[in-house]
A and B are shown apart, each in its own frame.
Chain A
Amino acid sequence: MFFRMIKGTFIHQWKKMLMIALTVALGTSIATAMLNVMLDVGDKINAELKTYGANINVVSKSAAIVSSLYETDEATDAYLQENVTGELLTIFWANNILDFAPFLDGQVKLDGTDQKVTGTWFHYHLSFRKKGSDYIRDTGINNLRDWWEIVDGERYDEQADFYKDAGDLFAMVGENVAEKKNLKAGDEITLTGKTTEVVKVVGVFSSGDNEDDVIYLPLSTAQRLTGKADLIQSISVSALTSPEDETSQKVAKNPELARPEDYELWYCTAYVSSICHQIQEAIPTSSASAIRRVADSEGDILNKTELLMTLITVLSLIGSALAISNLVTSSVMERSQELGLMKAIGAKNVRIAGLVLTEILLVALVGAVSGYFIGFGFAQIIGHTVFGASIDMKGMVAFLVAVLIFAVTLIGSLPAIRNILRLRPSEVLHGR
């Protein structure tokens, strides 16, 4: 009888029930999309932000001391061995390190005037062996500086077939230098430092900052020009990180004094501070520090994006609850004679409330299931449109959405249930 009555209501009030299902589906789809994106967005936003450059800078310990004593970012004469760079691949969070490149700055003469040059890896095939394990990675500034606009020629790529066996006498020239010296791709320039090197301009780039005043060379060429064989000044690292929180900041200040459980959590979370710590462990002569502006703004953007999505989810659920409340209340009002009759012939409040709630929850279930899949579709659209990647379906989201929608439906039904409890059969049956 119970289900005959429910079936009857569905047939009789199909428009209202459809509206409730659509409302629930809408709320569910937004909640599903937002929660799926939110739980996946950390990695996606991080990956997106990493395309805008490095967030960790590694220098020698003595350089770091000089830099902090004199509060300067100027390069010092303290160096790291080039071969320590491979150690980055051995740390716990090695897989979170997307790209890195060593740098060596120097002053040379170009046409009789001083010119800053920087040696680095453009697209370097790094092969590193430690304790019987091989670590291999293609890395370099072609990824770290992918915002460089090539205004003439092309990017230098030591792995490209044309350059592979052509030696290292090539250069990427900053736009300002090219303008000042009237250089273009294909020109040959003579650089004089500890040695004299004739290099061919592969391309002219525009970075929009003071890199436009620099000539970028393969690291080995810069090492010969500066007389710093096998040495580098710094390593720029781009790593996927989690936003810092209060605990991580506390532990990062003094890891040795942290409680073991805090230390373990910090060490095993991809905070920029714990990755820096691990780099220093791997390269004991180094000092790794977060490029705060980048790391902080990443954390800020991530937190704000998550907050925005949480707000959208909460607002959509509040909207759904209000809409459900209106629809269920109007449905109950429309059925007041029917429900009053049930009371008159002996139905207790709890049984009528149970009947109405069952109807609403069944409709909500249909709406929620369809809304979940629609929401997952929305999440994919957001993922592909904004991040260029799929969003993973997370079981936790299904559970969370089920609980939220159940709660929203119940809360939305409360005013209607209150109306049912107050319904007096003598009034509705006599039309008073």
Chain B
Amino acid sequence: MASLLELKNVSKIYGDLHALDDVSLTVEKGEWVAIMGPSGSGKSTMMNIIGCMDKPSLGQVLLDGKDISKESQTSLTTIRRDKIGLIFQQFHLINYLNAVENVMVAQYYHSVPDEKEALAALERVGLKDRAKHLPSQLSGGEQQRVCIARALINNPEIILADEPTGNLDEANENIVLDIFRQLHKEGTSLVVVTHDPEVGEVAQRTIRLEHGKIISDEKNENFVE
């Protein structure tokens, strides 16, 4: 498998605090990786750096073979738009746009909005019949599925999910994890940041962080393709 993402000796330093401390990591294309760790372990910092929303203080980040650690904010925005799909714990849907419009916003900033494609993305997450509903008219699970559809709409090379089930009940958590399984089957690369062991266990590989350092990097023996 070719490597999609590579972190080489990456550190993120805020004053005296090393949020990430000399971290090296490789994610292959099509791989499903869970990044776990307690609060303050550096999960979100790593997510921001991988998601091109922040730059490392030291080290290199290679995405699809290209070093993005020294890129300007503008080119990081372009890379994020073209290669990365983001899923958030808080969903972050625009509350005055309905479900399909929320998906189309990502198309709008990527290329051209296409309602048919956006509806197809919603169908993929089982929400076609809720396309015209506002976020306030959707349950938490449904909002997260709209968020997933938005992340998928531009066919990104990697999906980054930050605590995707953190605000969901068990039933909705299972729905989201089923969608991830489906995406993985289709060859989508997934990096899921979570502190939930159940979410970590279903991934192909689990990386554990503590105090900004990787303390373990294991293949999940129980992983079901």
Contact = CB atoms under 8 A, between A and B. Distances in A.
A426 B77 CA distance: 12
A2 interface: yes
B185 interface: no
B109 A346 contact: yes
A345 B94 contact: no
Given A337-B92, A345-B81, A346-B80, A1 B53 contact: no
A338 B107 CA distance: 16
B129 to A, nearest CB: 21
B110 A346 contact: yes
Interface stretch (A5-13, A246-254, A362-370): A5-13
Interface in B23-82: 44, 48, 51, 53-54, 74, 77-78, 80-82
Given A426-B53, A426-B54, A351 B109 contact: yes
Contacts of A180: none
Interface stretch (B98-106, B175-183, B201-209, B214-222): B98-106
Nearest to B107: A1
A429 B88 contact: yes
Interface in A327-358: 337-338, 341-349, 351
Contacts of B97: 4-5, 8
A348 B95 CA distance: 21
A2 B107 CA distance: 12
Contacts of B101: 1, 4
Contacts, number: 72
Contacts of A11: 96
A347 B109 contact: yes
For the residues of A in contact with B, the DSSP-based class is: helix
B166 to A, nearest CB: 12
Contacts of B82: 346
Nearest to B53: A426
Range class of the A interface residue count: 20 to 34
Contacts of A2: 108
Interface in B89-134: 90, 92, 94-97, 101, 104-110, 113
A12 B96 contact: yes
Contacts of A346: 77-78, 80-82, 106, 109-110, 154
A425 B110 CA distance: 17
A425 B53 contact: yes
A5 B106 CA distance: 12
Contacts of B195: none
B149 to A, nearest CB: 12
B53 A341 contact: no
Contacts of B106: 345-346
Contacts of B48: 426, 430
A424 interface: yes
Contacts of B213: none
Instruction: Choose among A2, A12, A347, A429 the residue with the greatest number of B CB atoms under 10 Å from its CB.
Output: A429
A429 B92 contact: yes
A348 B94 contact: no
B150 interface: yes
A341 B44 contact: no
A407 B88 CA distance: 39
Range class of the B interface residue count: 20 to 34
Instruction: Choose among A342, A349, A430 the residue with the greatest number of B CB atoms under 10 Å from its CB.
Output: A430
Given A2-B108, A351-B109, A345 B54 contact: no
A418 B136 CA distance: 31
Nearest to A421: B73
A342 B109 contact: yes
B96 A1 contact: no
B94 A338 contact: yes
A9 B96 CA distance: 7
Contacts of A429: 53, 88, 90, 92
Contacts of B78: 346, 348
B150 A430 contact: no
Nearest to B49: A426
A4 to B, nearest CB: 6
Nearest to A11: B96
A63 to B, nearest CB: 83
Nearest to A338: B94
A338 B97 CA distance: 11
B158 interface: no
Given A8-B94, A346-B77, A1 B54 contact: no
A341 B95 CA distance: 12
B20 interface: no
Interface in A217-276: none
B86 interface: yes
Given A1-B113, A346-B78, A430 B104 contact: no
A1 B94 contact: no
Contacts of A430: 44, 48, 162
Contacts of B88: 429
Contacts of A5: 94, 97, 105
A322 B81 CA distance: 36
Contacts of A342: 105, 109
Nearest to A341: B92
Instruction: Choose among B51, B53, B54, B78 the residue with the greatest number of A CB atoms under 10 Å from its CB.
Output: B53
Contacts of A424: 53-54
A269 B12 CA distance: 74
Top 9 closest A-B pairs, CB basis?
Answer: A346-B81, A8-B96, A426-B53, A12-B96, A1-B108, A426-B48, A346-B109, A347-B109, A1-B113
Interface of A: 1-2, 4-5, 8-9, 11-12, 337-338, 341-349, 351, 424-426, 429-431
28 contacts: A1-B104, A1-B113, A2-B108, A4-B101, A5-B97, A8-B96, A8-B97, A11-B96, A12-B96, A341-B94, A342-B105, A344-B80, A345-B105, A345-B106, A345-B109, A345-B110, A345-B150, A346-B78, A346-B82, A348-B78, A348-B109, A349-B74, A351-B109, A426-B48, A426-B54, A429-B90, A429-B92, A430-B44
